[in-house]
Structure 1
Amino acid sequence: MTRQSVWRLTLEPMGVHVAWSLLHTDGTAPATAVGGGVMRDTHDAAASAFAIAPQRSADGQLDLHRNILVDPIQERAAATLLGARLLPPALRDGLLEPGRHQVQIAARGWLANVPWEAVTVDDRSNTRLIESALLVSAMSPGIAVTRARSAPPVDCSLPGLAIVDAGPAEDSVTGESAIYPGRLPPELVGGGGLTAGEVVAPGKYSMSAAAAGKALAGQAWSRLLYLGHVTAGRPEEPAAAALVFQRHGIRDPLTAGMWLADPARWPAPARVALIGCGSDDARFTEASGLPVAAINAGAQLVTCTRWTLPSDRLQAAGLPATQLALAVHRAHRSESPITTLREWQLGRLQAWKADPAPEASPLYWAALTSYLASGGDRG
């Protein structure tokens, strides 16, 4: 039988330094401490992590040409630096040993902006963390223990609910516009994508936050895919993060605070995907953002995004953001969602190594992070 190793790496920022601890178990005994301490002189790592989020040009548009993740030379340099500075040597050495490895990463602050899947484990072979292990993001066990409700165990035969582009077609205040103006692209619906019956808010058609709650509570769902605009939280108020809906053409946000306060109104199925602009909230000290709200409302697995995803309209080739959403959708309807998603990410990594085109860059596939609630979906 292939040996299974589970590693838990916890990292907390201390200015530009990092406090860390590393636990390990082979599944036959409780986890034991491997090491811990403070990683010093990580200013370059912090600067690289901050530079990963897409930058905006003078007119407010995302500028892909200024992002280090779409430049193969800069991306590899950043991946090597982050791996060397943030992965303890014991973990790097352990992941090179034969066997199956899972790495649980609990990272907050600027460390949550690190594209962990893409960081380098072995510099000489350019081996990335996603190639060495199955990755999940770790959340405080107390969040699942104290949750308001728990969804029934996942039944992949049940339909999924997809809420797509639910916000206003144009918002003069925020400058947001429909992701898919006019209609949903054929790549998204049909032909292995979403089915027409599970898409409840296509394109410009109105859906309010209340209507989303009625849809969620109206029947048993195996999964929820939200694909649309996300309003980021604030350091002093992470619960202000919101999924963007509309009511009579006016912005109607569902904030994490609202979802946390009334989970019965927006009950979450076992698997939830929140694909939008930086739907993860781990960069804030307080855990009260959208992933926490989804778990509190019943989710066992939540997949979200670390940073803003450029619209497909900014790309010259392909529909990388749409393909990313579909990869998550396919993974969440499989028996092993995190393993299935990892297989897609490995394919994108190989494409990036072979032909570093922007649509294959870690800007997309390394933006994803998945949380598993304790005792829930095994992934």
Structure 2
Amino acid sequence: MTLIAGRQAVWRLTLEPMGAHVAWSLLHAGDTSPASAIAGGVIRDSRDAVTSSLAIAPRRSADGQIDLSRNSLADPILERATARLLGARLLPPVLLEGLRENRRHTVQIAARGWLANVPWEAVSIDDRANLRLIERAVLVSAMSPGIEATRARSAIPVDPTAPGLVIVDAGPAEDGITGESAIYPGRLPAELIGSGGLAAGDTVAPGKHVMSAAEAARTLAGGTWSRLLYLGQLTVGSPERPEAAALVFQRHGIRDPLTAGMWLADPARWPAPARVALIGCGSDDARFTEAGGLPVAAINAGAQLVTWTRWTLPADRLHSSGLPTTELALAVHHAHRSESPIRALRDWQLEKLEAWKADPVQETSPLYWAALTSYLAPGGGRG
């Protein structure tokens, strides 16, 4: 087990679905002590209760607008009840007791199957005080040690404020077969590219031109990038084919996907910088039995830090107001440019949680800020 930084308690919570039940184990490492197993067991009859409460997928109204009126993470009453249920069903009492200690905590969560869709940051650990897990701990995703041990390459970390590569809407504006569509079908919003938006020194692609998967390869290999932010269309894999998940590019106006399988097979062609963010339609693949999707492909290609989204986010153009998805992407972008990206992203999430508690509106709901999760490889720098 790798500590993120400093003196703290580190926990690793592993949860595996077993039909309607959940098998769990908990490891703990103190300030100087090595990791040791302290508890484990089976949580019975949790699947149906949890999955029925997580009505996360955005629904469209008759006019095509996103309807979040009864979303379990965007409606304040439903969200509070969901957070309470998740905490009661999924957090072992021994972990809750440990989090009460007056020290810094990091919780590494390895959750597969339907458990990967749980908004862990928003899970309640004390409903009476409306206290959430992220308020007591830094949260990161955990992957199998074998993924790190067998990676094909490892990017050399560089100054995160050095030029990075930002790929926005590289795929076709609309695809009638897949239903995929651009996040920004017109020009990029000023909030994204203006003052306070993307870093001035970064390269934003494809710009006014299209970008194929081959052109993406040449661009990635042609520069020493400090970061990669992909913001756009993503194809989700399936339980049978997690490697079918893809970043969507285009060639001559035709969809040209870079699948996780292609990326895994040829990481040198699409080398990943040390920090990678994949923002779009549910880029996580932990809900599948085999880990072979886009986050794993990015790690195999060199990434030390990968941030991704657990579920599909509503595009801002179909939202009633505000630019919450753009704001989320920029929060990840700025965090990845900082010395401690995990903590910087957590600070932003805590700001959103405070705003949600004070005046719950859809734009500050956990539907957005709890969609994010990150993996930091051992030796990948400060979290």
Question: What is the TM-score when the length of structure 1 is the normalising length?
Answer: 0.96
| CA RMSD, Structure 1 to Structure 2 (Å) | 1.7
Note the C-alpha offset of 1:53: 3.2
Aligned twin of 1:94? 98
Q: State whether structure 2 residue 16 is matched by structure 1 residue 12.
A: yes
8 A Cα contact 1:229 1:243, kept in partner: yes
8 A Cα contact 2:276 2:298, kept in partner: yes
- Pick closer, same or farther for the CA change 1:266–1:218 going to 2, 3 Å: same
Aligned twin of 1:37? 41
Counterpart of 2:257 (choices 253, 256, 259) is: 253
Aligned twin of 1:347? 351
Counterpart of 1:64 (choices 68, 92, 97) is: 68
- Pick closer, same or farther for the CA change 1:287–1:129 going to 2, 3 Å: same
Counterpart of 1:313 (choices 295, 311, 317) is: 317
Q: Percent identity?
A: 77
Aligned twin of 2:376? 372
8 A Cα contact 1:183 1:203, kept in partner: no
Note the C-alpha offset of 1:365: 0.2
Matches within 5 A, 1:95-244: 95-195=99-199, 198-202=202-206, 205-244=209-248
8 A Cα contact 2:162 2:201, kept in partner: no
- Pick closer, same or farther for the CA change 1:154–1:359 going to 2, 3 Å: same
Q: Distance in 2 between matches of 1:121 and 1:247?
A: 49
**Corresponding residue SS for 1:172:** coil
Q: Distance in 2 between matches of 1:210 and 1:249?
A: 14
Note the C-alpha offset of 1:45: 3.7
8 A Cα contact 2:13 2:107, kept in partner: yes
Segment of structure 1 superposing worse, 174-183 or 117-126: 174-183
Query: Could you list the per-position Cα deviations for residues 28-76 of structure 1 after superposition, in whole angstroms to 9, with x for gaps in the alignment?
Result: 1211112101001214543246423334557886532231111101100
8 A Cα contact 2:29 2:36, kept in partner: yes
Segment of structure 1 superposing worse, 201-210 or 328-337: 201-210
Q: State whether structure 2 residue 266 is matched by structure 1 residue 262.
A: yes
Counterpart of 1:358 (choices 330, 338, 362) is: 362
8 A Cα contact 1:49 1:113, kept in partner: no
Q: State whether structure 2 residue 327 is matched by structure 1 residue 323.
A: yes
Query: What count of residue pairs does the alignment treat as equivalent?
Result: 378
Note the C-alpha offset of 1:200: 3.2
**Corresponding residue SS for 2:267:** coil
8 A Cα contact 1:178 1:203, kept in partner: no
Question: What is the TM-score when the length of structure 2 is the normalising length?
Answer: 0.95
AA partner of residue 172 (structure 2): P
**Corresponding residue SS for 1:69:** coil
- Pick closer, same or farther for the CA change 1:361–1:17 going to 2, 3 Å: same
Note the C-alpha offset of 1:197: 5.2
8 A Cα contact 1:243 1:255, kept in partner: yes
8 A Cα contact 1:53 1:113, kept in partner: no
- Pick closer, same or farther for the CA change 1:177–1:118 going to 2, 3 Å: same
Q: State whether structure 2 residue 277 is matched by structure 1 residue 273.
A: yes
- Pick closer, same or farther for the CA change 1:149–1:49 going to 2, 3 Å: farther
Segment of structure 1 superposing worse, 139-148 or 150-159: 150-159
8 A Cα contact 1:54 1:64, kept in partner: yes
Q: Distance in 1 between matches of 2:40 and 2:118?
A: 20
Q: Distance in 1 between matches of 2:181 and 2:43?
A: 42
AA partner of residue 75 (structure 1): E
Q: Which runs of 5+ in 1 are unaligned?
A: none
Segment of structure 1 superposing worse, 369-378 or 115-124: 369-378
8 A Cα contact 1:48 1:78, kept in partner: no
**Corresponding residue SS for 1:298:** coil
8 A Cα contact 1:168 1:204, kept in partner: no
Segment of structure 1 superposing worse, 50-59 or 126-135: 50-59
Q: Which runs of 5+ in 2 are unaligned?
A: 1-5
